[in-house]
């Protein structure tokens, strides 16, 4: 059994939209490529046919993986979140105690993580180390090269 993953309603909509796109656009495109390659004759030495069949297999695998994620997702009711401590769907501003650098991260499900948008997975070492801490507390986070200390400056909802 796949593990349950918690997700926002927006994240779930993105997953559903991606599956619909793959089924309605990519699947017919690959089927057309297979048909065109098949029309070219001998399939035993037809690289285009082999490539199209492989692409079809990869596409079907991706669709089934996304569908499994959707089935195993539980939408979090964002209105019931408590921002007195760090938890999933918290936006947290932290200060690195060692160098004074401040960063703001949104802690999200694995499927919604995107470092470019400063959205980190709840399963990362930093998120795990911050969980349950309150404003003003210093969290010790185990990272590959030791322990880092972060002061929690602010906690709030993800905008």
Domains of the chain, by residue range, sit at: 5-75, 79-157
The predicted structure's pLDDT at residue 1 = 47
The pair phi, psi for residue 108, each rounded to 5°, is: -130, 175
CATH of span 79-157:
3.10.50.30
Residue 25 CB-density burial (10 A; 0-12 exposed, 13-18 middle, 19+ buried): exposed
Residue whose entry in the numeric block shows the structure tokens 């035993």 = 44
CB atoms within 10 A of CB 114: 11
In the chain, helix, strand, coil percent, each to 5?
Answer: 45, 25, 30
The list of the chain residues with pLDDT below 70 reads: 1-2
**Cα–Cα–Cα angle for 91, 93, 94, nearest 5°?**
135
The predicted structure's pLDDT at residue 18 = 95
- For β-strands 119-121 and 102-108, DSSP reports them as parallel
The predicted structure's pLDDT at residue 131 = 93
Residue whose entry in the numeric block shows the structure tokens 């703001």 = 104
User: Which fold would CATH assign to domain 5-75?
Assistant: Helix Hairpins (1.10.287)
Percent with pLDDT over 70 in the chain: 97
Residue 111 corresponds to which tokens in the numbers above?
Answer: 């499927």
**Cα 3 → chain centroid:** 14
The predicted structure's pLDDT at residue 49 = 87
């Amino acid at each position: 059994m796949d593990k349950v993953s918690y997700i926002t309603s927006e994240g779930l909509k993105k997953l559903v939209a991606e599956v619909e796109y793959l089924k309605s656009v990519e699947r017919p495109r690959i089927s057309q490529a297979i048909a065109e390659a098949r029309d070219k004759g001998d399939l035993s030495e037809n690289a285009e046919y082999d490539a199209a069949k492989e692409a079809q297999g990869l596409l079907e695998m991706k669709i089934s993986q996304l569908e499994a994620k959707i089935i195993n997702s539980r939408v979090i009711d964002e209105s019931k979140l408590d921002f007195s401590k760090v938890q999933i769907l918290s936006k947290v501003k932290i200060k690195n105690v060692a160098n004074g650098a401040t960063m703001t991260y949104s802690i999200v499900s694995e499927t919604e993580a995107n470092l470019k948008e400063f959205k980190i997975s709840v399963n990362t070492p930093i998120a795990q180390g911050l969980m349950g801490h309150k404003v003003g507390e210093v969290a010790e986070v185990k990272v590959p090269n030791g322990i880092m200390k972060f002061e929690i400056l602010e906690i709030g909802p993800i905008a």
